[in-house]
A and B are shown apart, each in its own frame.
Chain A
Amino acid sequence: MVPYRGQWKILSVGLLSIALALIGPTPAAAQDEEKPYVIKDGVVDWYTFSGFRRYHAECHVCHGPDGLGGSFAPALVESLKTLPYDEFLEVVVNGREQVGASVQSKMPAFGENLNVMCFVDDLYAYLKARSDGALGRGRPKKQPKPQEARERDDACMG
């Protein structure tokens, strides 16, 4: 179990922004110690696969296939090289806006979207694996879904 996984989920989604404030920034060092994904012989852990799958439902329309960016939104394979977990979570929950003469960029707030928030750590794991260069393009080979993940999904999705 990686240290950050599920930190936010003990709280109801309605309280997310408060939760974020309470959690505060995660020390950067903590994230360097352990990767949020496991890849052995080209096979990824279920959670990373789940991140791939949810990414290509919820995110790829703007951020492009495989995190490579589109004309609409930045390449997350680049962003995740410098964006720490807590900031990633902050942007996913609250969104981000950049609207000017030549840019009309508006990331929506996904804080109340179970299809995103129940899998936000999976998304992070997948995108981190992509930005670390540990995972290539396309659909990865995956480990079977563990019972723990089933229980987690059922509890979160309601």
Chain B
Amino acid sequence: MRGSLRTSCLVAAALLVPLSASANEGLLVMQENPAEWVMPTGNYANHRYSKLAQINTGNAGQLQVAWTFSTGVLRGHEGGPLIIGDTMYVHAPFPNTVYALDLNNDATIKWKYEPKQDPDTIPVMCCDTVNRGPAYGDGKIFLYQADTTLVALDANTGKVLWKAVNGDPKVGATGTSAPMVVKDKVIVGISGGEFGVRGHLTAYDINTGKQVWRGYSMGPDSDTLMDPKKTTHLGKAVGKDSGTNTWEGDQWKIGGGTTWGWYSYDPELDLIYYGSGNPSTWNPAQRPGDNRWSMAIWARNPDTGMTKWVYQMTPHDEWDYDGINEMILADIPVKGKTRKALVHFDRNGFGYTLDRETGELLVAEKFDPAVNWATHVDMETGRPQVVSQYSTDQNGEDVNSTGICPAALGSKDQQPAAFSPRTGLFYVPTNHVCMDYEPFRVSYTAGQPYVGATLSMYPAPGGKHMGNFIAWDASKGAIVWSNPELFSVWSGALATAGDVVFYGTLEGYLKAVDASTGRELYSFKTPSGIIGNVTTYMHRGQQYVAVLSGVGGWAGIGLAAGLTEPQAGLGAVGGYAALSNYTALGGQLTVFKLPD
């Protein structure tokens, strides 16, 4: 049945080829089929939710490993596989191998693609050589390589159809994010905020690879694709050149605001949503002003790139709280009224609920009680009320500001949360880590790190754990339940209609918990730490759950040796434990199922 549905999608897509909306409409249909997992985010709304219910709270405890697959690469494995029809697409970090596995034939390799890339790309990737996976659309697999080459592969053969280059690794621009196909375009971002790269979102034609538009995070209106009168910030027109007038001189040219997170799309409003990252450098004294539009949530038109609205969460960042985390689109009640909401768990520790049509701010509450750098977000101005003690800008250069929560890792990083329409709750992998942060003067050299702050990280006060996996009520802005985890939870969550929620841990456990209570139903230790996102699909009547292991990423590097104990003490216990005592490098896909 699944096969025939897919065939009909392909037929429909084929018939629509002359129209510009072919791939999009194909994906709009395909994302409704729970047997497949057609985009890294699960669906355009970024729910990471599956209607499959064969695995449920009653039987999840019986899960067992069905099969495994080594990627042949040992670095940090972020993202997860795609399942299109009877084929699974598995990717790896640098060198960014892609395998097409035949699910009808014991996952044998149908084709393998391994690009040749200059190893010079490796050291300009700030936080490991991760890749968050390819995208599918219009019979093509789109791989965004570390060296920023976007390549379109024939999904059936792996043959290269076209290539486009999105940035220059020589100035520190790299590719880590997963592309998203919208209509006849493939959307990609850029990494390199620690190298002074000016962030942008770029659309390429899915048939030719020709660049259609590029919207920068800062710069004149012609670069940011903003209309001074029509583009709004909290309901007010942004005015002329809002992307340069909160910077001194030409600093916006190396201003950061990179776009390496996830993208979502609302087909009714015809808007794509994403976040921009930290302004460069990490030393706030060197870049006075609000540094617009770093640290912002964006709504752009997918055809033209024009910005409908923007909201800056952390003006003039002083802590590296990138705004790139995913935007989850859900229609939920807020103050008694159903809203077309956008829910976002920011690095800065606030869980935001906005009206995704207008950009109106509805809710902004802390999703980790440890968050202390701001007391609250002013709902009129949208500005966080910064606590002077934790302001690395007010404390100044060469001063060590201590006890700031969260750490630069954020209360949550890119690892995407899940939303279950059944419970109405958001399931969020979080970090519970604080830091000392000392900014200092730094000079810019193209292609070299442009950081300008030193920091040390440690578990939040009173705890012996560095992470929590939480359920969040975005209508109220409140935690419903919270499971402590020894290390930061750096794995993307999955919610299912079986009311089971899945996530991985840095020690390597794949866990299944009850969506209502958080009660653990199943746990299995995979060969390496998990920073990948959990995926589910159905094949020949059986539901499978798949996850990539392969410790690494920022957390994997930083936690490998264990965090610094702020008050020098003896023995590494609890939260100060070294991740290297629990797991080692590896790159493996593990696939689970219920017993036959």
Contacts and interface: CB of A to CB of B under 8 A. Distances in A.
B445 A113 contact: yes
A101 B556 CA distance: 21
A19 to B, nearest CB: 18
B30 to A, nearest CB: 34
Contact of B563 (A65, A75, A116): A65
Contact of A57 (B128, B454, B560, B585): B454
Contact of B551 (A71, A107, A110, A136): A71
Interface in B278-334: 282
A108 B456 contact: no
B400 A139 contact: yes
Nearest to A97: B119
Given A58-B449, A71-B551, A72-B128, A138 B454 contact: no
B588 to A, nearest CB: 13
Contacts of A102: 74
A53 B451 CA distance: 12
A106 B119 contact: yes
**Which of A56, A102, A104, A114 has the most chain B CB atoms closer than 10 A to its own CB?**
A104
Interface of A: 52-58, 60-62, 64-66, 68-72, 75, 95, 97, 99, 101-108, 110, 112-116, 136-139, 157-158
Contacts of B72: 101
Nearest to B446: A112
Contacts of B123: 62, 95, 106-108
A115 B124 contact: no
B19 interface: no
**Which of B451, B457, B561 has the most chain A CB atoms closer than 10 A to its own CB?**
B561
Contact of B557 (A66, A72, A139): A72
Contacts of B180: none
A72 B568 contact: no
A70 B557 CA distance: 5
Contacts of A64: 557-558, 560-561
B564 A106 contact: no
B127 interface: yes
Interface stretch (B52-60, B236-244, B434-442): B434-442
B12 interface: no
Contact of B564 (A58, A72, A138): A138
Given A102-B74, A104-B119, A108-B124, A53 B560 contact: no
Nearest to B450: A115
Given A64-B560, A95-B123, A57 B453 contact: yes
A70 B560 contact: yes
A60 B564 CA distance: 13
B542 interface: no
Given A69-B561, A108-B124, A138 B119 contact: no
A154 to B, nearest CB: 10
Nearest to B194: A61
Given A71-B76, A104-B94, A139-B456, 14 more contacts: A56-B454, A61-B558, A65-B562, A70-B561, A71-B551, A71-B560, A72-B128, A103-B74, A104-B74, A104-B122, A110-B448, A114-B443, A115-B452, A136-B568
Contacts of B566: 138
Nearest to A58: B449
A70 B445 contact: no
29 contacts: A53-B454, A54-B454, A56-B454, A56-B455, A57-B451, A58-B451, A61-B127, A64-B558, A64-B561, A65-B457, A65-B558, A70-B556, A71-B75, A71-B76, A71-B585, A75-B561, A99-B119, A99-B122, A104-B74, A104-B95, A106-B123, A107-B123, A108-B120, A108-B123, A110-B448, A112-B448, A114-B443, A115-B448, A137-B565
Sorted nearest first, the 6 A-B pairs with minimum C-beta distance are: A68-B561, A108-B123, A70-B557, A56-B454, A106-B122, A113-B448
Contacts of B126: 61
A57 B456 CA distance: 10
**Which of A56, A116, A158 has the most chain B CB atoms closer than 10 A to its own CB?**
A56
A116 B554 CA distance: 21
A157 B551 contact: no
Nearest to B564: A138
Contacts of A157: 441, 443
Contact of B568 (A61, A101, A115, A138): A138
A87 B436 CA distance: 32
